[in-house]
Amino acid sequence: MLYLEDFTPGRVLPLASCTLDAAAIIEFASEFDPQPMHLDEEAGKASILGGLAASGWHTASLFMRMMYDGWLANSSSEGSPGIEFMKWKKPVIAGDTLCGQSTVIEARPLRSRPGIGLVKFLHEVTNQNGDVVMRGENPIMFRARSVENATMAGDPA
Amino acid sequence: MKLSELLPSGTAVVTGSLLFTADDIITFARKFDPQPFHTDAEAAKDYVFGALCASGWHTCAGWMKTYVAYIVKETGRLEAEGHEPPKLGPSPGFKKLQWLKPVYAGDTITYSMTLLESRPLVSRPGTWINTSANAGVNQKGETVLRFEGSILEFS
The helix/strand/coil state of B152 is: strand
What pLDDT score was predicted for residue A146?
Answer: 83
Alpha-carbon distance A84 to B95, whole Å?
5
Judged by CB atoms closer than 8 Å, whether chains meet at B61 and A47 is answered as no
What pLDDT score was predicted for residue A148?
Answer: 67
What pLDDT score was predicted for residue A152?
Answer: 53
Alpha-carbon distance A89 to A95, whole Å?
18
Q: What is the CATH number of the domain that holds A35?
A: 3.10.129.10
What pLDDT score was predicted for residue A156?
Answer: 45
Tell me which residue in B34, B61, B97 faces A82 most closely, judged by beta carbons.
B97
Domain with A114, as residue range(s), is: 4-154
Q: Is the pLDDT of residue A86 over 80?
A: yes
The mean-pLDDT minimum among A41-50, A147-156, B13-22 falls in A147-156
In this predicted model, what pLDDT tens digit does every residue of B57-80 receive, in sequence order? 999 999 999 999 999 999 999 999
Q: Is the pLDDT of residue A154 over 50?
A: no
Longest CA pairwise span in chain A (Å): 66
In this predicted model, what pLDDT tens digit does every residue of B107-125 receive, in sequence order? 999 999 999 999 999 998 9
Judged by CB atoms closer than 8 Å, whether chains meet at B55 and A72 is answered as no
Helix orientation angle between A56-70 and B22-32, rounded to the nearest 10 degrees: 70
Q: Name the residue ranges covered by the structural domains of chain B.
A: 3-154
- Residue window 23-82, chain A: list those with CB within 8 Å of chain B: 28, 31-35, 37, 47-49, 53, 55-57, 60-62, 64-65, 68, 72-73, 77-82
Q: Tell me which chain A residue has its CA closest to the CA of residue B44.
A: A78
Q: For strands B143-154 and B108-120, give the pairing.
A: unpaired
Q: How far is CA B65 from the centre of its chain?
A: 7
Average of per-residue pLDDT across A30-56: 96
Average of per-residue pLDDT across B81-100: 96
What pLDDT score was predicted for residue A12?
Answer: 98
Going by C-alpha positions, the residue among B155, B84, B87 that lies closest to residue B120 is B155
Q: Is the pLDDT of residue B9 over 90?
A: no
Contacts of A107 (CB under 8 A, 6+ apart): A4, A7, A8, A9, A117, A118, A119, A120
Domains in chain A, number: 1
What pLDDT score was predicted for residue A133?
Answer: 98
* Backbone φ, ψ for residue B27 (5° rounding): -60, -45
Give me the architecture of the B3-154 domain, per CATH: Roll (3.10)
Alpha-carbon distance B27 to A148, whole Å?
30
- Is A34 exposed, middle or buried, given 0-12, 13-18 or 19+ CB atoms closer than 10 A? middle
Average of per-residue pLDDT across A105-133: 96
Contacts of A152 (CB under 8 A, 6+ apart): none
Tell me which residue in A48, A73, A85 faces B93 most closely, judged by beta carbons.
A85
Alpha-carbon distance A59 to A65, whole Å?
10
**ipTM score here?**
0.96
Contact A57, B97 (CB under 8 A): no
Alpha-carbon distance A151 to B152, whole Å?
51
